[in-house]
Amino acid sequence: MTDITASSFVRADIVAERPAPVKTTGFIGLLRTRLFNSPTNILLTILGALLLWFTIIPSVRFLIVDAVWTGTDRTACLAENAGFTVGACWPYIQAKLPQLIYGFYPEAERWRVNLALILAVVLLLPLLIPRLPAKGLNAGLFFFAFPVVAFFLLHGGGIKGFGLSWTASALELFDDSISSAGQVLLSLSKTSAIAPLLWVVGNLVVLVGTAIHWLIFPLTWLRDHIQGTGQSIWVDFAITTAFVSLIVFFLGGGVRGGGRALASSIATFIAIAIVIKLMDLDHGGLPIVATNLWGGLLVTLVVSVTGIVTSLPIGIALALGRRASIPLIRIFSIAFIEFWRGVPLITVLFFATYMLPLFLPGNFSVDGLVRALVGIALFTGAYQAENVRGGLAAIPRGQGEAAAALGLSWWKTTSLIVLPQALRHVIPNLVNSFISLFKDTSLVSIVALFDLLGSLRASFSDPKWSTPSTAFTGFAFAGIIYFLFCFGMSRYSLFVERRLNAHRRN
Amino acid sequence: MSTEARKPPLQIALKIRRLLGGKAGWNGVAVQFAFAAVLGWIAYEIISNARANLENQHIAAGFGFLRNNAGFDVNQTLISYTGSDTFFRVFVVGILNTLVVSVVGIVFATVIGFIIALCRLSPNWLLSRIGEIYVELIRNLPLLFQILFWYLAVLAALPNPRQSISLFGVAFINNRGLIVPSPVGESGLGPFLAMLALGIVASLALRFYARRALFQRGQVIRIWPYVLTFIVGLPLVTMLVFGVPFIFEFPQLKGFNFAGGSRVIPEFVALTLALSTYTAAFIAEIVRAGILSVHSGQMEAGSSLGLSRGTTLRLIVVPQAMRVIVPPLTNQYLNLTKNSSLAVAIGYPDLVSVFAGTSLSQTGQAIEIIAMTMGVYLLISLITSGVMSIYGWRISRSLGA
């Protein structure tokens, strides 16, 4: 037996400590590994630092250090009065702030704008936080109730009738149009080469018109009768409530299961009644503020929110149409989408401003803002359709087939199984579209609407504030507002995307 | 005795049903009829209203107005144009101006975009942050805002011609635009251009031959010395024989303005700056995504085959990245072309500005003019998407083989 400790290859004394490895984490590590690790990188770092030096420092000097903060007119922002090279002229923004936010909205009525903004924020914030409950109710309030309330709040005015009167009048217009089309066909049939065909079609159309006339006669008779009574709106309201609630009751399952539907329908109508009463809509409502007085951030927000609310249903309908197997509907959807996606938004706005009024009956004048809104809704709708289509394509076929195996109809399969999953998939894309929509709203300033950018441009021409730094100050202010909105939305879209892909992260 | 397979039943009725009504069958046909009726009704309403409205405004429908004299001037024209030319010529001038600003914008946007993408991918921490700040800042501001910023704030703050900023004494920048030397053709221009064209054609043919040799016989031919001779040598020799092809006319300050050289109008400068920096931010993201989409194993595989880093990038990584990059890149080019219509906000005479703007307000022919304007953009995007689908088909063919 030998003693192993005595053998020659066992070390008897402790080895000297080696130096610690080079630190690769923390600030020093960052400097070492990412900034100064090679001659090229050192050069690039110096170049980058120089670039920052020549952009950040002047910007900060302009915005804060050299800025003028108080004053009443341009003289405060001139270098000879201030005694130094003047940067941003903030008094100019202070003076123009109401114009940049409200446009020429009457000062006494501005609380309405503020109230509408507060309502929008109160409804939108819970919708954006995934953890909060009652998303359906919330979405319904934001997408359906809020636009109507906001319209009466911002524009003012009241209502003369309710569901019954509106339905009756709309059907009457439709009927008139069909009858007149029939008359035109009949008059053409006297001269045309295909006279017999035209005569037959014309008579058929006239017949349809007459049939509709008699079909809607009870409605129109009821409407005329109600108009005679003193409380026409409330009578109309009661009849509409009863009618719609009955339909909902029977569609919801009649005596066996319709109670819930009936209750929610009546609750909705009571809410509507409260809103009507609260805003005094039956007695003319708030004083009307014409849209040519609107301006600034108000118009930017109105255009983008309306675009968001209207483009989504258009987009969903077009996306479903594009995937439909019925040839005409598919071809129409494809042509519609590709047309609007192929042209620039500015030509769409020109179309809406100059061509749309020609397409409407002569006695029917459309507000300039509404025209732009129609153009933007169609344009954005086509883009949203492509987003939604991406989501629909991502749903496995098995989902639809399983629903069909359960005996669900196409409508139920689409609305209960396919669309909810598809829409959840494409929320980030939808939000990205909304960002570009928000940016694109600035284009309405070209068709003589004064949004934030338009108001800003208009304010440049005020001689009271014309200084060398006015333009830069204005752009800095508007840029900060646009950036905050867009950056916020893009961060939110990233957040949703990460949440949706949580299962894919390793 | 063998039993023969029975023939399948006649499917013609089913096929017709499928063709006419899709999966919904005869219900689908009914839906289509209703849909067609509604479309027809809308079309009828539009046509009859438009006709009545035009009659009220005393406007004659049709394209006859295109032959009338325009009677207004355009401050940048590529083809000769005076106020006494027709509206059709205005249309062509507008299209050419749109195309020129788009092409220049696309070139700059691509260059800036690739540089920013390289910055963002750079291992240098500072550079990648700078690239990120650029992309976030530019993408979150409206394009119109940026156009107006360059035009109303930056370019308007430039000095007047007498205090122009001089770029090496060759080009000058002032608030009336950018003044650059203009080339003036001399006697040697014709042969020079002919030889240059010949050189380019010969180089292309040589490249084609070299690729065939590589793919068919595995023979590597080094072509760049020949290409250099063709493209640089040939024109140089012709220059020696026939004389200088062109000389530059330098701008000179005379009195209050510049004489000589050619002036690039400030609207063009502002529009190009805004369009190219804006689109560059999007291109940078596309390029970055494309390069990141190539698996890092590809690079490692290349180096394990003994290829150098440059060769691996050129032959393995970039071709795969390009497949991801090209379709969205073309989309951005198309977007840039469509966005050039924002020129109307600052008065650069593009198609929308001179045709859908000035011409429309002079003639009132809204339907025809807007339809023609939209048609041009639609045509451009249809051609682009056609080319892209051919490209996609070739890619999928090369992958499928």
**Residue ranges of domains in chain B:** 12-57, 87-181+250-400
CB atoms near residue A141 (< 10 Å): 18
Smallest CA–CA separation between A41 and chain B, in Å?
Answer: 6
CB atoms near residue A130 (< 10 Å): 10
CA–CA distances in Å: residue A299 to residues A304, B190, B366: 8, 58, 26
Cβ-proximal residues to A478 (8 Å cutoff; 6+ apart), any chain: A100, A452, A453, A456, B145
Interface touch A445/B23, C-beta < 8 Å? no
Interface touch A442/B144, C-beta < 8 Å? yes
- Assign B391 a pLDDT band (cuts: 50, 70, 90): confident
What's the CATH architecture for B87-181+250-400?
Answer: Orthogonal Bundle (1.10)
What's the CA gap between B236 and A485, in Å, rounded?
57
- Element of type H or E holding A399: helix A397-405
CA B300 to chain centre: 36
pLDDT of the residue at B1: 55
For residue A45, the chain B residues in CB contact (below 8 A) are 124, 126-127
pLDDT tens figures, B349-386: 889 988 888 888 888 888 889 999 999 999 999 998 88
**At what angle are helices B125-139 and A39-60 packed, to 10 degrees?**
40
Please report the number of interchain residue pairs, chain A to chain B, with beta-carbon separation below 8 angstroms.
Answer: 173
Q: Determine the residue type at B379.
A: L
User: Is some CB atom of chain B closer than 8 A to the CB atom of A19?
Assistant: no
Smallest CA–CA separation between B298 and chain A, in Å?
Answer: 22
Interface touch B140/A358, C-beta < 8 Å? no
pLDDT of the residue at B256: 67
Of A354, A361, A472, the CB nearest to B360: A354
Joined together, the tokens standing for residue A400 give 């639809």
User: Is some CB atom of chain A closer than 8 A to the CB atom of B383?
Assistant: no
**Residue ranges of domains in chain A:** 95-130+293-392+426-475+489-504, 163-283
Cβ-proximal residues to A153 (8 Å cutoff; 6+ apart), any chain: A112, A115, A116, A119, A279, A286
For residue A360, the chain B residues in CB contact (below 8 A) are 49
Please give the average per-residue pLDDT across B199-222, as a whole number.
86
Interface of A with B in 337-396 (CB under 8 A): 338-339, 341-344, 346-347, 350-351, 354-355, 357-362
A113 within 8 A of A298, measured Cβ to Cβ:
yes
- Assign B255 a pLDDT band (cuts: 50, 70, 90): low
Closest-CA residue in chain A for B335? A344
What's the CA gap between A302 and A214, in Å, rounded?
41
CATH of A95-130+293-392+426-475+489-504, picked from 3.40.50.620, 3.40.50.11260, 1.10.3720.10, 1.10.579.10, is: 1.10.3720.10
Of A45, A468, A483, the CB nearest to B157: A468
pLDDT tens figures, A205-254: 888 888 888 888 887 887 777 777 767 777 777 888 888 888 888 877 77
Q: What are phi and psi of A207, to 5 degrees?
A: -60, -45
Of A327, A341, A359, the CB nearest to B22: A327
Q: Along chain A (506 residues), what's the average pLDDT of each consecutive run of 10 residues?
A: 62 86 79 79 89 90 84 80 79 88 86 90 87 84 87 81 80 82 77 75 83 83 75 77 82 74 82 82 78 88 90 93 88 93 92 86 79 92 93 90 91 89 87 90 88 89 84 91 93 87 68
pLDDT tens figures, B286-340: 999 998 888 889 989 998 999 888 888 888 888 888 888 888 899 999 999 999 9
For residue B378, the chain A residues in CB contact (below 8 A) are 339, 342-343
Cβ-proximal residues to B101 (8 Å cutoff; 6+ apart), any chain: B268, B271, B272, B275, B340, B343, B348, B350
Joined together, the tokens standing for residue A35 give 């900034």
For residue B362, the chain A residues in CB contact (below 8 A) are none
Interface of B with A in 335-354 (CB under 8 A): 338-339, 341-342, 344-345, 352
Of B50, B53, B153, the CB nearest to A472: B153
For residue A361, the chain B residues in CB contact (below 8 A) are 49, 52
Closest-CA residue in chain B for A349? B370
User: Is some CB atom of chain B closer than 8 A to the CB atom of A309?
Assistant: no
Interface of B with A in 99-158 (CB under 8 A): 122-127, 130, 136-137, 139-145, 148-149, 152-153, 156-157
Interface touch B382/A342, C-beta < 8 Å? yes
Question: Which strands make up the sheet holding B165-167, listed edge to edge?
Answer: B165-167, B171-174, B177-180, B262-264
Smallest CA–CA separation between A241 and chain B, in Å?
Answer: 29
pLDDT tens figures, B7-22: 776 778 778 877 777 7
Smallest CA–CA separation between A303 and chain B, in Å?
Answer: 15
B327 within 8 A of B388, measured Cβ to Cβ:
yes
B239 within 8 A of B245, measured Cβ to Cβ:
yes
CB atoms near residue B294 (< 10 Å): 19
For residue B19, the chain A residues in CB contact (below 8 A) are 327
Of A34, A446, A486, the CB nearest to B140: A486
Interface touch A490/B123, C-beta < 8 Å? no
User: Is some CB atom of chain A closer than 8 A to the CB atom of B34?
Assistant: no
DSSP state letters, A74-113? GGGGSHHHHSS----BHHHHHHHHHHHHHBT--GGGHHHH
Q: What is the CA radius of gyration of chain A?
A: 32
pLDDT of the residue at B138: 94
pLDDT of the residue at A482: 93
Q: Give residue for tokens 């990648």.
A: B128
For residue A48, the chain B residues in CB contact (below 8 A) are 124, 126-127, 130
Strand-strand pairing, B182-185 and B246-249: antiparallel
CB atoms near residue A81 (< 10 Å): 12
What's the CA gap between A306 and A378, in Å, rounded?
12
Rounded to 10 degrees, what is the CA torsion of A136, A139, A143, A146? 110
Q: Give residue for tokens 């524009």.
A: A155
Smallest CA–CA separation between A433 and chain B, in Å?
Answer: 12
Interface touch B49/A360, C-beta < 8 Å? yes
For residue A87, the chain B residues in CB contact (below 8 A) are none
Joined together, the tokens standing for residue A20 give 């610690």
What's the CA gap between B105 and B200, in Å, rounded?
25
Q: Give residue for tokens 């446009």.
A: A103
Of B145, B157, B374, the CB nearest to A347: B374
Interface of A with B in 430-489 (CB under 8 A): 435, 439-443, 445-446, 453, 457, 460, 468, 471-472, 475, 478-479, 482-483, 486-487
- Assign B149 a pLDDT band (cuts: 50, 70, 90): very high
Rounded to 5°, angle at Cα B318 from B313 and B320: 125
For residue A49, the chain B residues in CB contact (below 8 A) are 126
Rounded to 5°, angle at Cα B118 from B116 and B123: 120
Interface of A with B in 157-196 (CB under 8 A): 177-178, 180-181, 184
- Element of type H or E holding A466: none
Joined together, the tokens standing for residue B224 give 């760049």
Interface of B with A in 219-238 (CB under 8 A): none
Smallest CA–CA separation between A31 and chain B, in Å?
Answer: 9
Residue B398 burial (10 A CB sphere; 0-12, 13-18, 19+): exposed
Smallest CA–CA separation between A216 and chain B, in Å?
Answer: 19
Smallest CA–CA separation between B185 and chain A, in Å?
Answer: 39
A440 within 8 A of A304, measured Cβ to Cβ:
no
Complex ipTM > 0.95: no
